[in-house]
Structure 1
Amino acid sequence: MNEEATAQSTTRTDGNSADSLSITRRSSRSTLKYLPGIGVCVAGALSWFGARYLTGVSPLLLAILAGAVWRNVFRVPLSLSPGIAFSSKKLLRTGIVLLGLQLSLSAILGLGPGVLVVVFLSVGVTFGLTLWIGQLLGISLSQRLLIAAGFSICGAAAVAATENATKAKQEEVASAIGLVVLFGTLMIPLVPFLGRLLGMSDESLGMWIGASTHEVAQVVAAGGAVGSSALAVAVTVKLARVVTLAPIIAGVTLYMHRNKAVAGTRRPPLVPLFVVGFVLTMLLRSTGVLPDSILSIAQNLQTLLLASAMFALGLGVHLRGLVRSGGKSLILGVLSTLVILTVSLGGTLLFPPQ
């Protein structure tokens, strides 16, 4: 009996060891399948170094363009698909969390109540009217939400963050980012030119640039073209717009949450974890405990992660699909840009920076 029990125990132990080894091997294979696609996306994202030599060109723009060129000129191996999907989701959310380290509540509140009113009006009115106009044009809800977020908040990062809540198609995400890049780039020379025609001071012009232009890189380019004082105000106002990313994404998620409940499908989380992380890193930056060297490293890492995600999104761009569906979206981009230019200009004239 003892010999039989010992044999059974040994068999069970050997069986458990074999099962554990099998699980470990499956886990390793599951992890390894992501590495090729992630490696390609990170390598493609390194094109953001080139943005340092191209004034006003967003590194996110270069990354998504590089991905789109590959997708439409060469074949993308299926073996890269798991890593590409991982990059477009997980790396993106990590990058947005690190984006919070660029924001300081004290600097934003120091702009004064008038400037904050302009920021909230620019974001709120543009977001709402873009949704309404898009509905009149017959554009899908997910596409409208992506464009509204990108044009009113912070460009490509806002589009990609909104995609998580809307479950939009890759073509819709790529189209929205393309529109943000197109119109934001056009605003780099346009807004300073119009501001000079209107006789605006450098600080007021910087405020208009920050309250209207889409990408942070585009704001830096336009503000820098005016002067150092305009640049300082422009970047601070722009980062104040970025702060609204968290409540708007939470609101979009809540809306989609209710829609999913009605439709009987799986509900998304009410407040995405990466939004909570974004708020926490912003609060951490506001304490002033982090040295500049850490903030600089975090900024470079955040840019690399977001650029990797943009490259992954670019790999999902179908030019034929964009041509077929881009007409109405292009009109919405024009009108949304006019809305934020008008609202932010009116607010800047009424509440100039202190």
Structure 2
Amino acid sequence: MEALKNTTTPAVRPAKSRIALASFRVLSPGLAVAFGGALVAIAVTLLIRGLSPLLVAIALGLAARNLGLLPERLSAGLTVASRVPLRLGIVILGLQLSLQDLAALGWGIPLLAVAVVAIGILGTVGLGRLLKVPLRQTLLVACGFSICGAAAVAGAQPVVDADEEETVTAVALVVLFGTLMIPSIPLLASLLGLPNDVTAVWAGASIHEVAQVVAVGGIIGGSALATAVTVKLARVLMLAPTVAILSWLQHRAGTGTGKKRPPIVPLFMIGFIVMVILRSTLPIPAEALGAAATIQSFLLTAAMLALGTSVRLKALIRRGGRTLALAAGSTAIVCAVGLAGALLVA
């Protein structure tokens, strides 16, 4: 028996090594394009202030795909790049959340975050049914607009089993409508005569991406930035329970159908929760948090570029009308709930 082990083990190891090397050779060109493109997107945003690296990355990916610049050998690596960096980015996102910061604002802010997410998702799903938008697309838009933009879309994507085209459509809509809200929220607040503290809470409770909230907080000025971002992060904290609920519903729906059921809490969401706990219990240096935010942004940007390469514009245009109406309606719902809550708690 010992002799048999000695003769078979050396043969198995080289075989595994060859498989790993072959996989690396297949994946590396697409991964290199995704990560290299992310660097280009970030460089563009450093030169042109106000642009989102996510938007630039999606645009680069879309252009490369629809101009026929991507050979087929890149597909496998780009597929991996559209998934793994997204989930790693979500895990690192947890380091932005401190439970102490949320508690310092009182219970009104967490309750507002729950209201925005719950009403936003339920309202968007109802609107999606009226507009006859596919449920998977509707759920991605609902989560992205109600919680935290691209990261929420990424969190919901594997749970609702959405394809790359549906995912990048939702992300593109998040970036588009969230960007439109940057000038709109301060303008509407001025027309309504809202004080800065109310406007800051409204921005944090309504705008889709953290980066977009930062932009509005800077426009308002004073202490508005810290308030707006903290309110926004209260919504980000809703990502984990929302994904868990969606996963549970999918788990139930898969019963008896022969379909593989997803885990109740996906592994990357457990990582997200662990990071929130670490941020809330350990004294993490500001330099480390800044580095984590940079890594998170880079990973999400690389994933957005890879997702952009999966979309054919003709197919996107075909589904555009109703999906755009859904995005506009979802934005209106979230804005209305956020404004009502801001008037009550600020």
Interval containing the TM-score (normalised by the shorter chain): over 0.9
Aligned position for 1:44: 37
User: CA 1:53/1:209 → structure 2, altered by over 3 Å: closer, same or farther?
Assistant: farther
CA RMSD of aligned residues (A): 1.7
Contact 1:206 1:231 in 2 (8 A): yes
Report 1:166-177 matches (<5 A).
166-177=160-171
Aligned position for 1:35: 28
User: CA 1:16/1:281 → structure 2, altered by over 3 Å: closer, same or farther?
Assistant: closer
Cα deviation for residue 228 of structure 1 reads 2.9
**C-alpha deviations, 1:284-306, integer Å up to 9, x for none?**
01124211111111111111111
Counterpart Cα distance in 1 of 2:109 and 2:320? 35
Out of 177, 182, 197, which is 2:176 matched to?
182
Report 1:137-286 matches (<5 A).
137-286=131-280
SS in 1 for 2:319: helix
Cα deviation for residue 18 of structure 1 reads 3.0
**C-alpha deviations, 1:73-127, integer Å up to 9, x for none?**
1232222122111111111111100000111110011111122222211111011
Report 1:16-35 matches (<5 A).
16-35=9-28
Runs in 1 of length 4+ with deviation above 3 angstroms?
Answer: 11-16, 52-56
SS in 2 for 1:168: coil
Is 1:64 the counterpart of 2:39 in the alignment? no
State the identity %: 45
Contact 1:142 1:167 in 2 (8 A): yes
Query: Structure 2-normalised TM-score?
Result: 0.95
**C-alpha deviations, 1:321-341, integer Å up to 9, x for none?**
011111111111111111111
Gaps of 5+ in 2: none
- Partner amino acid, structure 1, of 2:278: L
Counterpart Cα distance in 1 of 2:173 and 2:182? 15
Contact 2:205 2:232 in 1 (8 A): yes
Contact 1:175 1:326 in 2 (8 A): no
Contact 2:31 2:80 in 1 (8 A): yes
Contact 1:56 1:185 in 2 (8 A): no
Contact 2:254 2:260 in 1 (8 A): yes
Counterpart Cα distance in 1 of 2:209 and 2:156? 15
Cα deviation for residue 19 of structure 1 reads 3.4
Is 1:300 the counterpart of 2:294 in the alignment? yes
Contact 2:30 2:74 in 1 (8 A): yes
Is 1:86 the counterpart of 2:93 in the alignment? no
- Partner amino acid, structure 2, of 1:310: M
Aligned position for 1:323: 317
Cα deviation for residue 54 of structure 1 reads 3.4
Aligned position for 1:54: 48
Counterpart Cα distance in 2 of 1:168 and 1:330? 18
* Comparing 221-230 and 234-243, the one that deviates more: 221-230
Aligned position for 2:284: 290
Cα deviation for residue 12 of structure 1 reads 7.4
SS in 1 for 2:30: helix
Contact 2:82 2:303 in 1 (8 A): yes
Query: Structure 1-normalised TM-score?
Result: 0.93
- Partner amino acid, structure 2, of 1:233: T
Counterpart Cα distance in 1 of 2:12 and 2:340? 68
Aligned position for 2:98: 104
Contact 1:97 1:275 in 2 (8 A): yes
SS in 2 for 1:261: coil
Gaps of 5+ in 1: none
- Partner amino acid, structure 1, of 2:25: L
SS in 1 for 2:229: helix
Counterpart Cα distance in 1 of 2:153 and 2:79? 16
Aligned length: 345
- Partner amino acid, structure 2, of 1:41: A
Counterpart Cα distance in 1 of 2:256 and 2:322? 28
Aligned position for 2:67: 73
SS in 2 for 1:263: coil
Cα deviation for residue 22 of structure 1 reads 2.3
User: CA 1:12/1:147 → structure 2, altered by over 3 Å: closer, same or farther?
Assistant: closer
Counterpart Cα distance in 1 of 2:43 and 2:275? 25
Is 1:130 the counterpart of 2:144 in the alignment? no
Counterpart Cα distance in 1 of 2:118 and 2:12? 55
**C-alpha deviations, 1:161-182, integer Å up to 9, x for none?**
2111011121111111111111
